[in-house]
Structure formats: structure tokens, C-alpha cells
Amino acid sequence: THHLLIVEHPPVYTLGKSGDISNLLIDEEERNAKGLEFFKINRGGDITFHGPGQIVMYPILDLEKFYTDIGKYLRNLEEIVIKTLADYGITGDRSKGETGVWLDPSVKGRERKICAIGVRCSRWITMHGLALNVNTNLGYFNNIIPCGIQDKQVTSIAKELGAEVD
């Protein structure tokens, strides 16, 4: 009944169902020239990037077998990432009112998102999931306003540690 897909995508931008297309800062011609794909999809959240060096997890779970609380599910996904980052000596945290995992979320000008989370749930079956930047080329995020959030940075495990990780 339950499945967990863990993948690494070719470079692609995805826009969630409530996302704003104006957060995509690169036109179709530029995307094609750079080999970047773009899809509107049915998950929550705004725009994000998926690509090489990023772990994307798609949990397909029947939440009726656990609990029927999407907020709790999102917090649990965040907790998995926070605990994983701790294994690398990185202190992940939550940012009030924003889904995902952040570093220094309460330090103005230092807030950095390391993991985006966007899910959909239908009849308590989960779809979509999370994207953790590991060795991701963060330059791809310059073509979007990540998650529709202005004036905050995106980071990766490699950037934080100063070296790529396996």
C-alpha cells in the first residue's frame, strides 16, 4: 500500500496549482536553449527547481493508516529532513508560516531554504513530496522566485559544508 520513490530529475521547473507564473523569470526560448523543462502540476506550493544533485522524495502513503492530518504530515516530512541535516552537522529549522526546511530562518538576511516541500493528498493518499538540495547547482534558482518567496536565499548541503557529499 505504501511506496517511497527517491529520484534525481533532469533540470526542470515545476509550478504548483496555487503558484504564480510571474515567479518564473525565464521565457520558453531561454529554457529550451538551456535544456530546461517546465511543467504546471497539481501539488501545493509555488514554483521550484528539480535537478541533478538534488534528492527528490515522493512518499505515496495512505494516511488513513496513520493519521488524517495534512499539517502533521508536512511537519513530519520537515522533521525527517531536519534529522538528516543534523547527521551532517547542519541545523535545519522551520520558518513560521512557510513549509519546508530552512537554515537561520529567524536571522534577517541569513534565511536560506535547503528543502522545498509540496504535496497533494486525495482520499488521504499522498502525492508529490520534498526536494532536498544536496550537491545542487544553485544557479538554476536564479531563473525563478523560489516558492514565490522574495528576498530569501536557497542553499545546499554542499554549499553549507564547503564540499560535495556522496
Active site residues: 147
In 3D space, the residue among 86, 85, 72 whose CA is nearest the CA of residue 119 turns out to be 72
CA angle 139, 141, 147 (to 5 degrees): 165
Q: Which helix (H) or strand (E) holds 114?
A: strand 112-122
How far apart CA 35 and CA 52 sit, in angstroms, is 13
Report d(CA 161, CA 133) in Å as an integer: 12
Phi, psi of 46 (to 5 degrees): -105, -130
Taking Cα atoms as reference points, which of 135, 134, 117 lies closest to residue 126? 117
| Cβ-contact 24, 120 below 8 angstroms | no
